[in-house]
Structure formats: structure tokens, C-alpha cells
Amino acid sequence: MDGRPCSKVACTNDAVSTLTYVYADSMAVLGPLSRQAEPHSYDLCPRHAERLSVPQGWQVVRHVSLGRTEHSAL
């Protein structure tokens, strides 16, 4: 494993997303993997990021990273 591991117990997959919570707003924010591990966030593999569930009444905000597109000269 070259990257950071998924935060889920017993998961051996590499993380691709970082999950943080905003308790005051009842919100979970899932975005691209942060540059470095943070103590109050959770790094998730694709499987666990897709299956994310939150308490009833909470909102999930999913940020996606748009790939960089290279243009060639005509």
C-alpha cells in the first residue's frame, strides 16, 4: 500500500476521500483526499466513501475534484 489507508477498521484499501463533520450544522463533508492526515477527519477508500451514511436529519456535502484537461494545439 503506497497511500494512506482507509480509516475504517480492518479495511486494507488506500484512501481516496477525506470525511469531516460540522456538528453545529449537522453536516458531513466528503471531499478529495486531503494532502496530509488530520486528527479530526477520516480518510476513506472508494467503497466506504460511496456507502457513507449519516444520522437522520444530517446533510451530506460531496465535493468532487475535476480532472485537469490538457488541450493540444491544432
Confidence class for position 64, pLDDT limits 50, 70, 90: confident
Confidence class for position 72, pLDDT limits 50, 70, 90: very low
Confidence class for position 65, pLDDT limits 50, 70, 90: confident
Contacts of 56 (CB under 8 A, 6+ apart): none
**Stronger pLDDT, 15 or 65, i.e. the higher one:** 15
**Stronger pLDDT, 37 or 67, i.e. the higher one:** 37
15 torsion bin: left (phi>0), alpha (psi -120 to 50), beta (else):
beta
